[in-house]
């Protein structure tokens, strides 16, 4: 079961750091404005601010969160983790618990999408622990839904759908209570992935119910708050994929194939999801059940090709992260050694000066003693 194709979408819609806030920095506001509509422009603006401006702590946290989000969205994962780690440290230093939860959630999501499950669990569990102790302001209620959704995705990704369903239900409740337009889009993601879990558990009736709830209609697309249509199209294609799986399980393979082929025929779509990979796999299974070995093998080959491409990219990303970790570790060691050398020199100079002072004092005392001895001798004579 593949859940990767909708992982990052929740961040673009839910971890917004600009919704409902007042701004004191026009530069940071400008970068935040383009996070969804023009990620590359948001990235360029954020980098310019990061490199040239001396922002106070509050705005630097916001800027680093923007850089984390947009780097994640544009698949600059090494940079995303670097900015996220820096932002998390700054948020912890300033005791900004809301920002901590946001940074932890995005970092957990990145590692999950890279299939580094141990780190994903670490960050998401830490976010959930802080969330339990934090009373969120009304404007940030959606954050609870985001973390619970991601926890559900974490379990779904490892095929523990029983645990995933509980988190999806909690996320749905949180989004429904939040009421804001972005949460009303995010709740559809929770419906969708709950449906895919139910398909995995062969609860087809329940899956159909939640797939229908997750569909985005034309009115919702036109009224969506600044969300590019391409993301909503991805969501709807994923809904269609769910129905195709259900038809296949009901042995209506021809209807399933019809839906799957219509997904592949969508024009002008951007390749920002894994939907095609899942479609190829399901088509291969469907044609195998129809005893059409040639088409089954053809789609199996396309599936393996797509999978190999994605695995290659993932391996490159993970290798880059390992190299960056090693570089950071080497820098810390160099900094530590540099500090030791620096303090050693300071210590030598300090103690050298101290010895010199004591030596001068000792010589002065010795000189005075000789003078007193000489004076005493002359007096006795």
Tokens read off for 26: 């026009």
- Report the alpha-carbon distance of residue 375 to residue 131 in Å, rounded: 83
For the chain, the distance separating the N- and C-terminal CA atoms, rounded to the nearest angstrom, is 111
- Report the alpha-carbon distance of residue 99 to residue 63 in Å, rounded: 11
- Report the alpha-carbon distance of residue 355 to residue 215 in Å, rounded: 81
The predicted structure's pLDDT at residue 207: 97
CATH number for the domain that contains residue 30: 1.25.40.10
* Residue 29 Cα distances to 18, 33, 50, 90, 148, angstroms: 7, 6, 13, 20, 28
The predicted structure's pLDDT at residue 341: 55
Q: Number of helices (H) and strands (E), helices first, in the chain?
A: 16, 0
DSSP for 92-157? HHTT-HHHHHHHHHHHHHHHHHTT-HHHHHHHHHHHHHHHHH----GGGTHHHHHHHHHHHHHHHH
- Report the alpha-carbon distance of residue 62 to residue 31 in Å, rounded: 10
As for how many domains the chain has, the answer is: 1
User: For the chain, how many residues are written?
Assistant: 381
Quote the distance between the C-alpha of residue 25 and its chain's center. 25
Residue with tokens 């383009």: 34
Residue 52 within a domain: yes
DSSP for 249-301? HTT-HHHHHHHHHHHHT-TT----SSHHHHHHHHHHHHHHHTT-HHHHHHHHH
**Per residue in 342-380, pLDDT tens?**
665 666 566 666 676 666 676 666 665 565 555 555 555
Question: Given a cut of 90, is residue 255 above it in pLDDT?
Answer: yes
* Residue 345 Cα distances to 234, 342, 349, angstroms: 61, 5, 6
Return mean pLDDT, the chain. 80
The predicted structure's pLDDT at residue 164: 94
Among 52-61, 155-164, 228-237, 269-278, where is mean pLDDT lowest? 269-278
Closest Cα to residue 153, out of 108, 118, 184?
A: 108
Residue 279 within a domain: no
Residue 72 within a domain: yes
Residue range of the domain that includes 121: 1-227
- Report the alpha-carbon distance of residue 194 to residue 215 in Å, rounded: 13
Q: pTM for this one?
A: 0.78
**Per residue in 5-49, pLDDT tens?**
444 455 444 444 444 343 345 667 777 777 777 788 888 888 888
Residue 62 within a domain: yes
- Report the alpha-carbon distance of residue 10 to residue 156 in Å, rounded: 15
């Amino acid at each position: 079961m593949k859940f990767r194709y909708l992982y990052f979408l929740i961040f673009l819609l839910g971890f917004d750091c600009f919704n409902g806030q007042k701004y004191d920095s026009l530069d940071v506001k400008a970068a935040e404005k383009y996070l969804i509509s023009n990620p590359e422009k948001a990235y360029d603006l954020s980098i310019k601010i990061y490199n040239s401006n001396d922002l106070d702590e509050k705005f630097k946290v916001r800027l680093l969160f923007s850089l984390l989000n947009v780097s994640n969205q544009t698949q600059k994962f090494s940079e995303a983790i670097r900015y996220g780690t820096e932002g998390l440290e700054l948020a912890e230093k300033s005791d900004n618990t809301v920002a901590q939860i946001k940074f932890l959630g995005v970092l957990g999501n990145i590692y999950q999408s890279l299939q580094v499950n141990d780190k994903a669990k670490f960050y998401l569990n830490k976010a959930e622990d802080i969330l339990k102790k934090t009373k969120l302001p009304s404007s940030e209620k959606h954050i609870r839904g985001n973390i619970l959704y991601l926890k559900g995705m974490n379990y779904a990704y490892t095929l523990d759908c029983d645990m995933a369903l509980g988190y999806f239900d909690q996320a749905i409740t949180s989004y429904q209570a939040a009421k804001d337009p972005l949460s009303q889009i995010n709740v559809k993601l929770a419906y969708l992935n709950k449906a895919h879990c139910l398909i995995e558990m062969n609860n087809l009736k329940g899956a159909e119910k939640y797939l229908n709830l997750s569909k985005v209609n034309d009115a919702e697309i036109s009224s969506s708050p600044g969300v590019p249509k391409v993301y909503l199209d991805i969501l709807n294609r994923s809904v269609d994929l769910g129905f195709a799986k259900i038809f296949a399980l009901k042995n209506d393979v021809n209807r399933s194939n019809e839906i799957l082929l219509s997904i592949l025929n969508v024009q002008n779509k951007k390749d920002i999801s894994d939907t095609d990979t899942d479609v190829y796999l399901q088509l291969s299974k469907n044609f195998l059940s129809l005893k059409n070995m040639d088409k089954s093998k053809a789609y199996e080959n396309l599936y393996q090709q797509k999978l190999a491409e994605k695995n290659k990219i993932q391996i490159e990303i993970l290798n880059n992260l390992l190299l960056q970790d090693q570089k950071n570790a080497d820098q810390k060691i160099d900094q530590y050694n540099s500090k030791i050398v620096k303090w050693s020199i300071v210590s030598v100079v300090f103690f050298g000066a101290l010895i010199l002072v004591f030596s001068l004092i000792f010589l002065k005392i010795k000189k005075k003693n000789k003078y007193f001895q000489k004076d005493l001798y002359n007096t006795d004579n």
